[in-house]
Structure formats: C-alpha cells, structure tokens
C-alpha cells in the first residue's frame, strides 16, 4: 500500500431481517448526496457473483466473508466508500477483516431481538428454519456472535429507519469520516 487510503467501510452485521439492507440503501443515498463514491455490497448479491458454489457451513461462510473483505480493500484503496450488508455471524472473521482495513472500518451492529424477527418474518425464513427446513440458519440453527465493541449499535426494533440512519450518520461525523 503506497497510497493513502481514502475510502472506508461501513460494515453492517446482524441477523436476517434486522434491517441491514434497508439501512445500507439509506446510507448509500445520504453519502451519494455528499459526492462520495459509494458501493453497497449485499451479502446475498456477492454470493451470486464471487461466491457461487459456496454453501452455509462455517468454512464456506468464512470464505464468503473473506471475499467481501477483499472487495472492500480493493474499492477502499481507490477512495470508494463501501457499505456491507451481510449477516457475517462470526466474530473472528469480522475481526480478521477489521485487521486488514487500515483502521478504516466502522462496524455497525444492526440489533433486533430474534423474537421480534420471528414474529415479523417477512420472508418466511424463520418459520422454515424453526421447522427444520433450513439447516444452518443464523440465530436458529447456526450461531450469531454479536460484536464486542461495534462503533455503532442500531436498535431496529425501537428506532425507525430514519432514526437509525441519523445515528449512523452522526457517528460517522464524530469519527471524522464525513463532514
């Protein structure tokens, strides 16, 4: 790395249905207005492109997250702001990514109690997971390891998307990433 890194990564982690993609898109809009180059990397979408063939075992999930991390590095070093929306359930992997981020990663814990998610269950995934139809489903049949020291926690069961966005943007200002 000879050049100074100008981009940064906003990494949204949390359970399925917690609101990661919604918030990623809202933040994308907000930062694009400020003339940043912004790229949203959605976990599901990345799987279709660079992680075709990978499944949901711990090893495959880790590899998928590593690849997202590689994309972040690639984009950040050219000044792009990368917003990741991915369950990314394992703490060690998120820490591995952070260690490679040149100190320019903001970990955002998109937190919503699983009972609320099960009750909402917009995509019907929790029902299927609880019925044993979906193996290795995070929070039900596969672990989710919450961040220890995330830069931001968004309580999406209590906050509106607008309120969460406001908190996130304020925190980015506080940390000096945006004006």
| Site residues, its own copies (CB under 8 A) | 37, 39, 49-53, 63, 66-67, 70-71, 74-75, 78-80
The least distance separating its own copies from the CB of residue 68, rounded to whole angstroms, comes to 10
The token pair at 130 is 């609880």
Active-site option among 16, 51, 88, 101: 88
Which residues, 6 or more positions from 165, have their beta carbon under 8 angstroms from its beta carbon?
23, 26, 27, 30
Using CA atoms, how far apart are residues 130 and 135, in angstroms rounded to an integer?
9
What is the nearest approach in angstroms of its own copies to the Cβ of residue 110? 23
In the bound state with its own copies, the residue whose beta carbon lies nearer, of 74 and 119, is 74
Check if 88 is active-site.
yes
**What are residue 39's DSSP bridge partners?**
82
- Residue 52 beta carbon to its own copies: minimum distance, rounded to whole angstroms: 7
Tell the smallest beta-carbon distance from residue 104 to its own copies (Å): 16
Of 32 and 141, nearer to its own copies (C-beta) is 32
CB 137 within 8 A of CB 129: yes
What single string gives the DSSP state of each residue in 91-112? HHHHHHHHHTTTT-EEEEEEE-
Number of other residues whose CB lies within 10 A of the CB of residue 9: 26
CA 14, CA 110: separation in Å to the nearest integer? 5
Give the nearer residue to its own copies in terms of CB position, either 33 or 52.
52
Residues 84 and 166: their CA atoms lie apart, in Å, by 18
Residue positions annotated with a catalytic role = 88
């Amino acid at each position: 790395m000879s050049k100074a890194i100008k981009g940064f990564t906003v990494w949204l982690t949390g359970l399925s249905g917690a609101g990661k993609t919604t918030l990623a898109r809202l933040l994308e809009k907000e930062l694009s207005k400020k003339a940043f180059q912004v790229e949203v990397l959605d976990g599901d979408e990345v799987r279709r492109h660079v992680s075709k063939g990978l499944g949901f075992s711990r090893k495959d999930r880790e590899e998928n997250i590593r690849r997202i991390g590689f994309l972040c590095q690639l984009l950040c070093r050219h000044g792009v702001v990368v917003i990741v929306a991915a369950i990314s359930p394992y703490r060690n992997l998120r820490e591995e990514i952070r260690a490679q981020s040149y100190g320019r990663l903001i970990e955002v814990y998109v937190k919503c109690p699983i009972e609320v998610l099960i009750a909402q269950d917009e995509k019907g995934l929790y029902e299927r997971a609880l019925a044993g139809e979906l193996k290795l489903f995070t929070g039900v049949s596969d672990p989710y390891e919450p961040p220890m020291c995330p830069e931001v926690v968004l309580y999406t069961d209590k906050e509106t998307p607008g309120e969460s966005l406001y908190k996130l943007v304020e925190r980015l200002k506080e940390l000096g990433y945006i004006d």
